[in-house]
Amino acid sequence: MHNLYVRKIYDLGWVKEISKYYPGNYGAPGVKRGPKRKRTPEDIERQNKTNREKKVQRLILANFHEGDWHLVLKYKKELRPESLAEAKKQVQKFLADMRKAYKKAGYQFKYIYVTERGKQGACHHHLIIEDIAGPELNTKKMVLKFWQYGSKAFIPLYEDGEFENLAEYIVKKETKEEAEGCTYSRSRNLIVPEPQREIIHRKRWKQEPRPEKGWYIIPDSIVNGFNPVTGYPYQHYTMRRIDPGGDSG
């Protein structure tokens, strides 16, 4: 008989992701179970994709904030690279120039990017970068200076769906073009979130979770469901800091 469950927390600075579940195949006496079924290869593939999206999303949330940039770098027709390898060299040179400028001003340059090849074969690059607008360094000016091949689209990051959509987009592009080596790349200085696990000695959690002091729960993030393999319940939700300015990092 097991009257306990696991609470797993990803602390991403200004956002916390919480999941609650029963360890292994153990439930608690009297806890309602859902239907069990064997996972199909499609289930496994879908779960792997979801896990990868969540991993990228956590990287974005832990390292970037509202007001940072989703940057799209494109090419003028006459300056298009002849190959994907050439396009990658060009974006890597751009990243090296940005890193050098940031370092000179006393900042670390953080990024995530993926290269996409369009239907007509034209490449463009999607990047997530920090925005710094100070007297010693201005991100927009640096981008305009170092990307000489075509247009630069600056799309501000917003919490409302943008982080989740971007993670999904990056993984989608990576899956679609991985045969050509279009995996996403990131700077080595990113925080890679690791979960904290706690054993809670209670039979069950509340269906409507309560936020920690100084945080609120994003309403549509609450999911109460049943693990299709074990039939036991789980709960996921996301909390956001009420004062993001109070975040030390």
> Is the Cβ–Cβ distance between 92 and 181 less than 8 Å?
no
pLDDT grade for 246, boundaries at 50, 70 and 90: very low
Q: Which residue from 158, 178, 177 is spatially nearest to 166, judged by alpha carbons?
A: 158
Q: What integer is the mean pLDDT of 146-163?
A: 84
CA gap 5, 249 in Å, rounded: 30
CA gap 87, 95 in Å, rounded: 12
Q: What integer is the mean pLDDT of 75-96?
A: 92
Say whether pLDDT at 134 is over 90: no
Q: What integer is the mean pLDDT of 55-78?
A: 92
Q: What integer is the mean pLDDT of 33-58?
A: 83
Say whether pLDDT at 93 is over 70: yes
For residue 27, the model assigns a pLDDT of: 61
CA gap 83, 180 in Å, rounded: 11
CA 97 to chain centre: 25
| Secondary structure (DSSP) of 117-173 | E-TTS-EEEEEEE---BSSS-BHHHHHHHH--SS-EEEEE--TTTHHHHHHHHHHHH
Which amino acid is it at 233? P
Taking CA atoms, 149 is separated from 73, 106, 125, 146, in Å, by: 8, 27, 12, 9
Q: List, in sequence order, the alpha helices (H) in 28-83.
A: 41-63
Neighbours of 205 (CB within 10 A): 17
Taking CA atoms, 78 is separated from 82, 117, 145, in Å, by: 11, 16, 19
Classify residue 245 by its DSSP letter: G
For residue 170, the model assigns a pLDDT of: 82
More confident site: 177 or 94: 94
Tell how strand 233-241 and strand 15-21 pair up.
antiparallel
Q: What integer is the mean pLDDT of 43-52?
A: 84
pLDDT of 160-215, one tens digit each?
556 777 888 887 766 555 545 567 899 999 999 999 999 999 989 999 999 999 99
Residue 8 sits at φ, ψ, to 5 deg, of -110, 130
Q: Which residue from 113, 108, 68 is spatially nearest to 87, judged by alpha carbons?
A: 113
CA gap 71, 163 in Å, rounded: 13
Find all residues with CB under 8 Å of 54, minimum gap 6, and list them. 167
More confident site: 87 or 246: 87
